Structure 1
């Protein structure tokens, strides 16, 4: 799925646009015991309640593709006759009205999700009448391509709010209110089947994780039984380690700056050109930068081999997963220097009298703890000498 397809489904999750008749839920306590299950007709819910349910489901279609939204691919064998894919298909076919199937799904989720607090499993079946689109992406009202029937699920913590002072409109005065149990934004969720090329694709699903780390892996392994992709946070750490270990003494500040600049430029250009397909790079993208920086052939080849070993031969990764395109950090054991990507060239390394220094050019005004300071010209000249 691409960004446009995700956005198109998100736009349907409004009271006047969706075709969800009921939402179904299972309230689970911190001990993984079911407190209650429910079904709620959106037509009979208040506007505020309906909006709250839809917003929870919509949140499971948010974030960055490849980072918060993970593509799940089923094998042909799974689609033909596996228990995990079959359950999802039956839930979709019955529109969640089969209580036995729904309970089986709840039990599977509870077996692999532990948020160390109470949580809600919310699931709904929506039917989206996909309109035709002209070449300029204009929707045409006189036709439809297909009915995209899909499941949307959100797994959200239920937290107790703190007691506080509030206003009672009936009594017209302030008094303290006890804390209530409130549903927080979801941590995990999914869409099944995928909406690829604006059409139903039962060979794929889209899994949501609020935190791009390994907390979602047990859920993917249990519910989808597919190969688990490396989490974005792990991809970043892995890339940093293999870059350092592959280049060894040739891994300089200038080389890291060049790699960060090239990948950041690719991300910016992808955004500026409004390309809907997710941005992906291969080992060749980075090795080309290394070669331009003068890194030796043995070191660039070592990087390529380790990249393929970690991410898969000829596999692509999202540059957003392996660098922080918003910041450029220089970290020492007791000091961290953070600059904007466009100012990365202001940071240099230098050895003076056998001592290693991190140097930052101060071209504009400098503030320390919010106080504007001035440089001692004589001290500056002595240091330069």
Structure 2
């Protein structure tokens, strides 16, 4: 899914555009016991509660694509198996989600099976609330210039959106008692927090239902809960954002070996910066496969003998079929040089100001002081500026 597609669905989770048909939920305690359940038409909720649910549900569609918002594809073998699966069995994950959606959340047995799947596989210490909604979106048509035509519907997008929210005791404190006109110890109660995980099924791709994919949300982009995702959806997870970055860094170090110096890394960074600018208006994050990464290295001046070893290093480090998101592996908005004692951050457009040079037998990092220099907030004079001042005073 793209940012625009996610934003279009997110827009539905507002009072003005709401068409949610039903909301259901299950409150689970720290011992994995079901404490209570809710089932009702969403529009029958009191207005104050409706606004709170909107805030929770919208969070599932918030975040950064490729980090904590991930489009997951169902394996083809799973979908084919689902076509022949026993329709009463919840074992096939893809088929189960389809039946849950098509039930419009009115099948109590399916709901209980869904809650049981989460309770069995979701690892969390404490109480939590499972929420799930059903919605039918009458997708408006669009003109060639992107304007919506409210009276021209292309199709119907029927979906479910679900999330898991921690339920925690409110913090202790004092509160004002208006009737008694005094301050008292606040009564602590159980409060539903924003979601830790959630999903939208099916995905909304090309403004249409894509039953072969779903959008998965994880509050923590480094704890994607692989086992939980595998059991609930049967979909493989990509490497986390930080894991992709670490994998790419190891790949560069292994491939370049002794040739991994500042100049080459600067060239690679510059090439990534160019690609980021070229794809700045693209609706989806730029995904790089093995061949594309190899091309970037070649364009950055990596020697042919090193490129000959690239495929082997990529397969060993990342995996032959692994793709990497450019935004995860390289921050094109900064350029940082770090030693055990020094950290230097350089404008990525001025990496030409730094170079390595051997001085008095020592490897040194040389930085051209171009313009004013500020140290701890204090404007200081460089040697060249001092010389200019002295010359000016001499002329006087």
TM-score by length of 2: 0.85
Q: Secondary structure at the match of 1:266?
A: helix
Please show how residues 323-342 of structure 1 align to structure 2 within 5 Å.
323-342=330-349
Output the CA distance in 1 between the equivalents of 2:107 and 2:236. 29
Q: Give 1:301 deviation, angstroms.
A: 2.7
Output the CA distance in 2 between the equivalents of 1:182 and 1:334. 45
Q: Secondary structure at the match of 1:43?
A: helix
Output the CA distance in 2 between the equivalents of 1:70 and 1:260. 25
1:52 match = 52
1:349 matches 2:356: yes
Residues 250 and 317, structure 2, Cα contact 8 Å, conserved in 1: no
Please show how residues 126-165 of structure 1 align to structure 2 within 5 Å.
126-165=135-174
Which sits farther off after the overlay, 186-195 or 206-215? Answer: 206-215
Question: Any idea what the Cα deviations from partners look like across 1:279-300, whole Å, max 9, x if unmatched?
Answer: 2233444434433443211212
Q: Give 1:125 deviation, angstroms.
A: 0.9
RMSD, aligned CA: 2.8
Please show how residues 65-104 of structure 1 align to structure 2 within 5 Å.
65-82=65-82, 83-104=92-113
1:216 matches 2:225: yes
2:324 match = 317
Output the CA distance in 1 between the equivalents of 2:198 and 2:74. 17
Indicate the structure (1 or 2) with the bigger Cα radius of gyration.
Answer: 2
Question: Any idea what the Cα deviations from partners look like across 1:111-136, whole Å, max 9, x if unmatched?
Answer: 22223333222111111111111111
Residues 247 and 318, structure 2, Cα contact 8 Å, conserved in 1: no
1:121 matches 2:121: no
1:37 match = 37
2:114 match = 105
Residues 25 and 121, structure 1, Cα contact 8 Å, conserved in 2: yes
Which sits farther off after the overlay, 361-370 or 247-256? Answer: 361-370
Q: Give 1:175 deviation, angstroms.
A: 4.0
Residues 20 and 127, structure 1, Cα contact 8 Å, conserved in 2: yes
Output the CA distance in 1 between the equivalents of 2:5 and 2:385. 61
2:85 match = none
| Equivalent of 2:289 in 272, 279, 282 | 282
Q: Give 1:218 deviation, angstroms.
A: 1.7
2:10 match = 10
Residues 193 and 205, structure 1, Cα contact 8 Å, conserved in 2: yes
Q: Structure 2 vs 1, CA of residues 372 and 297 (structure 1 numbering), >3 Å: closer, same or farther?
A: same
Q: Secondary structure at the match of 1:17?
A: coil
TM-score by length of 1: 0.87
Output the CA distance in 2 between the equivalents of 1:31 and 1:344. 55
Q: Give 1:71 deviation, angstroms.
A: 1.8
Output the CA distance in 1 between the equivalents of 2:95 and 2:132. 17
Q: For structure 2, list consecutive stretches of 5 or more residues without a partner in the other structure.
A: 83-91, 388-396
